[in-house]
Structure 1
Amino acid sequence: MYAAFRDTVSMREVFDSCSGVTDVVSWNTVLGGYVKCGDIGNARMMFEEMPQRNGVSWSAMVGAYAGSGELDVAREMLDEMPAVGRNIVTWNSMITGFARHGLLPLARKMFDEMPVRNLVSWNTMIRGYAVNGEMDGARKLFDVMPEKDVISWTCMISGYAQAGRYTETLELFREMQSESSARPNEVTMVSVLSACAHLTALEEGRWAHTYIDKHKMVLDNDFNLGAALVDMYAKCGKTDMAVKIFHSLDQKNVSAWNALITGLAVNGDVQDCIDVFEQMKRSGEKPNDVTFVGVLTACAHSGLVDEGRRCFQSMSSSNCGVQPEAKHYGCMVDMLGRAGLLEEAEELIRSMPMAPDVMILGALLGACRMHKRFDVAERVQSEIIGLNTRQAGCHVLISDVYAAAGKWGEALDARRVLQKCTIRKLPGSSSSMR
């Protein structure tokens, strides 16, 4: 009866009206309602009032505190909990809480102390390692698991993809195909497609697409599988397929629009990129920060300065409501610099609500070298030094700007900064900040 109520106030009122309720199930139902709504204060009051408690009662409170990050309290309750009431759910809640907050040593200690583990316990620990980027620790645990399911494999595959270890992502996916009876799901395939996109592994991407079609996976859902397909084909240079898949989606969310806009931008299909951006706005889907990076990048690489200015100015309008970030200013500085509008780029940097970082100043320096504007480079140099950056590329760019202008003394001075700060440029590495 109590489970039908969505707000805890009305649920508690009905509970209180039933005088003499003593069964632990009813008390646990209301307690669980508080926990589900995140009302830990009232949950604790309910817990203290209970005439009797069982393992469910204790587990609910331990899980509530662990989930909200109050790990000290959760551990105290676990220690106070009668041994007979402790169950695997309680232990798993604690491991999840520690891992979610990056406390992997504590999570692993608790995992090792568990009297009994189930598949959820192993998956919880592996996910903890993966979401914190500790993929080597995750792999060691994964390799000794007594059994694995699709969640186990997907935690590892997604973890490798999120850590940028794309080759290992695909290697493990192949291993899953050959050694496991577990069938990949939408989350697995999104990570596989991401790896294919970053490695421009078109053939493997096509195979993944065939697998998705064969198993009738839904493209336009919360997993963003359709967006991942669009992104993969675009990054592999197949924009025609990216467009085709995009138009086949019944529901196009912001991720799908961004995948196509960014894909067209990086492939140099600038007008198509801008056209899709306009279609997105007309569709009612609001652009976000990623959308504008794609459009501004397209404008920068094609010299569409006026279009870029309009796009940048429209970001914070009521229709878009996106506040420009450093990455957007960086795109604008790059665009203006490429067009030779260095004074405007300088002025834009001065107007930024945040301090310019080395990438933004590096973009301006690159334009100074391109247009042989050592006067601007001199002003930028002081800001670079003020950042106390050990980024060799910026100092090399400063030297190159002076050298291009025939100012050999200044060029040598800039090189000496590298030596003085013991900055080393890697052999064969590019000095360009672009």
Structure 2
Amino acid sequence: MRTFQELSPMINKIINLLNKCASPTHIHQIQSQIILHHLHSNTTLAYHFITASQNFSLLHSSLPLFLTHLHRPHVFICNTLIRAFSRIHDPHIPYSIYIQMHYNSILPNNYTFPFLFKSLSDCRDYLKCQCVHAHVIRLGHLNDIYVQNSLLDVYASCGYMGLCREVFDEMSDRDVVSWTVLIMGYRNAKNYADALIAFEKMHYAGVVPNRVTMVNALGACGSFRAIEMGVWIHDFISRNGWDLDVILGTSLVEMYLKCGRIDEGLNAFRSMKEKNVFTWNVVIQGLGFAKSGQEAVWWFNRMEEEGFEADEVTLANVLNACIHSGLVDMGRQIFSSLINGSYGFSPSVKHYACMIDLLTRAGCLDEAFKLIKEMPFEPSKSIWGSFLTGCRACGNLELSELAAKKLAELESDNGTYFVSSI
């Protein structure tokens, strides 16, 4: 067998070819050369081959090369594979690689676990996380802050905020990522009060927030109607000269609108240098909930004038704005344009539900019932429910009984609808 010195020029040549690789065919040819010359165990070559394979979506082909041809691949190779697969959101393979490491007595290190936990976070696999958590403790890697932060993220993603908080409280050092994961976890669990308490404690601990922290804190402020905290965050952003990029700016606009501060929200919207369809959707939805339907429709038209294409969420938001403000004719006009294909897509069941709700609330029961019969979807419980409510409000006994019967058919174990309609 040739020595490393003899193989070194060949390894360097292959690495150079991988860096210049222009097609998937080249990857397969290089793979053949690696097998032919038994170069699998070289960690530097393995790293470059895995990276090149990932660039051409051929990552799966690297698995047998390193895990079948090598009985005990170096831990660096295993870590590189786990990291690569975690980045392409193939959540089950990293854990399989980890199990193979265990069977082959390849000792993981502190670089193994962050990306392994990331993959378990992506697939919300709480049980496997518990198993790996036990391994981390046994191997003595729990004091590594990167491992701790990734473990926090898994528990938060799986909704186990009690365990997330336990890990957080046991950490001797916490950085901005630690605090942000905790705040994000509470926010996603809709525990907005604890999210804001954690944000306050982070501030008192002297940890400087980043943009991700602020986006999640603003989200909690909006949902909890914590306008004072939201204004403080806005002031912090201004004092520190942060640009309102699309994500942070949209979060700020949404916070103000959810808290009923329409003018401040629109001012923040206008100050944004860059906007996307999500930003416009937030504005239209916020104005709709504030029962400023005319203004929501105005911004909807402005959105189109500025060259932004409305999506399905936009149309649902503007129709909801029409509902909250009783803009029946405007709703009819927008829905007609949607039916005619003016927005590049067909109405979904949600759009039909909005239009039926709008007509029903306005007392246009016959028109609403006609739309229910003609829609290309089976009416849902929410559609029949809103129709029944409108029929009762208008005192239409015949249509009330029909709607109650349809609801009873959809929910056969609940006869309340029919009884209450009599």
TM over 0.5, yes or no? yes
What corresponds to 2:350 in structure 1?
327
2:185 to 137, 159, 166: 159
- Decide whether the 8 Å contact of 2:75 with 2:106 is kept in 1: no
How far off its partner does 1:306 sit?
2.7
Amino acid at match of 1:266: F
CA contact (8 A) 1:62 1:78 kept: no
One-letter amino acid of the counterpart of residue 287, structure 1 = A
Alignment of 1:314-353 (within 5 A): 314-315=337-338, 320-353=343-376
Unpaired segments ≥5 residues, structure 1: 403-409, 411-434
Query: Equivalent of 1:193, from 207, 214, 218?
Result: 218
Letter in 2 for 1:261: I
Report the Cα distance in structure 2 between the residues aligned to 1:258 and 1:296, rounded to whole angstroms.
12
- Measured after TM superposition, the shift of residue 200 of structure 1 is 2.0
> TM-score of the superposition, structure 1-length normalised?
0.82
Deviation at 1:288, TM superposition (A): 2.0
2:405 is matched with which residue: 379, 382, 393? 382
Q: Does 1:258 align with 2:316?
A: no
Q: For residues 351-390 of structure 1, what are the structure 2 equivalents within 5 Å?
A: 351-388=374-411
Q: Secondary structure at the match of 1:83?
A: coil
Deviates further, 351-360 or 252-261: 351-360
Distance 1:130 1:38, change over 3 A: farther
- Contact 2:284–2:321 (CA under 8 A) maintained in structure 1: no
Equivalent residue pairs, number: 395
Instruction: Show the counterpart of 2:251.
Output: 228
For residue 79 of structure 2, what is the aligned residue in structure 1? 59
Counterpart residue number, 2:52: 33
* 1:330 aligned partner, one-letter code: A
Matched, 1:129 2:152: no
1:93 to 115, 132, 139: 115
User: Residues of 2 paired with 1:6 and 1:145: CA distance?
Assistant: 46
CA distance in 1 between partners of 2:70 and 2:49 (Å): 11
Q: Secondary structure at the match of 1:183?
A: coil
1:58-112 CA-to-partner distances (Å, cap 9, x unmatched) read 222344556513346324422244435x322223333332332122121121122
Cα gap change, 1:17/1:139 in structure 2, threshold over 3 Å: closer, same or farther? closer
State yes or no: 1:395 paired with 2:413.
no
Give yes or no for contact 1:74–1:94 (8 Å, CA) kept in 2: no
User: Is residue 99–residue 128 contact of structure 1 (8 Å, CA) maintained in 2?
Assistant: yes
Q: Percent identity?
A: 28
Partner SS, residue 148 of structure 1 = coil
Look up the match of 2:227.
Answer: 202
Alignment partner of 1:119 out of 135, 142, 145:
145
Provide the rounded CA distance (Å) in 2 between the counterparts of 1:38 and 1:331: 42
Q: Which amino acid aligns with 2:292?
A: D
Decide which moves more: 38-47 or 123-132: 38-47
Structure 2 residue 197 is matched with structure 1 residue 177: no
Q: 1:193 to 1:83 in 2, by over 3 A?
A: same
1:286 and 1:319 in contact (8 A); partners too: no
**Uncovered stretches (5+) of structure 2, i.e. residues with no partner:** 1-15
Q: CA RMSD in A?
A: 2.9
1:73–1:216 distance in 2 versus 1, CA, 3 Å: same
Contact 1:169 1:195 in 2 (8 A): yes
Deviates most, 350-359 or 271-280: 350-359
